[in-house]
């Protein structure tokens, strides 16, 4: 945008740099990038695509693997990506774990995958929760059956400040 505007209006580098508060060398880098055809994409933050992945020929198969595993609600983590890579490309086994791990993180970023965290949900039905609650209350009542003046209070771990009235 800035390089195009400078060319369209014939402005000097100094004028453009002052107007947009950028360094002269940054403007020159953008000009070189435009001349070499590395234009800025609207969805990417960088000028170029960067260096090609070492395992580029296997990435489509690994992407399909991730999508298939997620379709059946199975866990896909960095370790499983590395295992799949080694399965598809036995030569990758010779590389260090750290290099394969960094490849996996870059693969996740390139494909805009998210590392999902496992969460635990209550799997008991409402009827089962009610049955357990009633059972617990009956047990408490049985333990204190001889005390007629007992008041039961349900409390959580809440801080109590003794200075409050």
What are the distances in angstroms from CA 93 to CA 29, 86, 104? Answer: 39, 6, 14
Mean pLDDT for 83-108 is 91
The predicted model scores a pTM of 0.45
Inter-residue contact 16 to 6 (CB < 8 Å)? yes
8 Å CB contact between 78 and 112 = no
State the pLDDT confidence band at 64, using cuts at 50, 70 and 90: very high
Q: How far apart are CA 30 and CA 147, in angstroms?
A: 84
Q: What residues contact 57, with CB distance under 8 A and at least 6 apart?
A: none
* Distances from the Cα of 110 to the Cα of 11, 41, 70, 85, angstroms: 37, 14, 17, 16
Residue-level pLDDT at 5: 78
The per-residue pLDDT for range 118-137, each reduced to its tens digit, is: 566 667 888 888 999 899 88
- Contact between 17 and 27 under an 8 Å Cβ cutoff? The reply is yes
DSSP string of 57-94, one letter each residue: HHHHHHHHHHHHHHHTT----HHHHHHHHHHH-GGGGG
pLDDT at position 51 over 90: no
Specify the pLDDT at position 119.
61
């Amino acid at each position: 945008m800035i390089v195009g505007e400078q060319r369209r209006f014939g402005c000097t580098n100094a004028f453009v740099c002052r107007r947009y508060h950028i360094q002269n060398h940054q403007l020159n880098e953008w000009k070189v990038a435009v001349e070499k055809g590395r234009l800025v994409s609207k969805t990417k933050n960088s000028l170029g695509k960067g260096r090609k992945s070492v395992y580029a020929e296997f990435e489509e198969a690994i992407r399909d693997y991730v999508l298939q595993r997620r379709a059946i609600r199975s866990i896909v983590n960095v370790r499983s990506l590395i295992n799949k890579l080694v399965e598809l490309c036995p030569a990758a086994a010779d590389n260090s774990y750290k290099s394969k791990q960094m490849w996996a993180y870059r693969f996740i970023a390139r494909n805009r995958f998210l590392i999902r965290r496992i969460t635990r949900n209550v799997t008991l039905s409402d009827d089962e929760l009610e049955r357990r609650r009633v059972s617990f209350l009956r047990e408490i009542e049985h333990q204190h059956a001889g005390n007629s003046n007992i008041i039961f209070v349900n409390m959580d771990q809440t801080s109590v400040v003794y200075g409050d009235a």
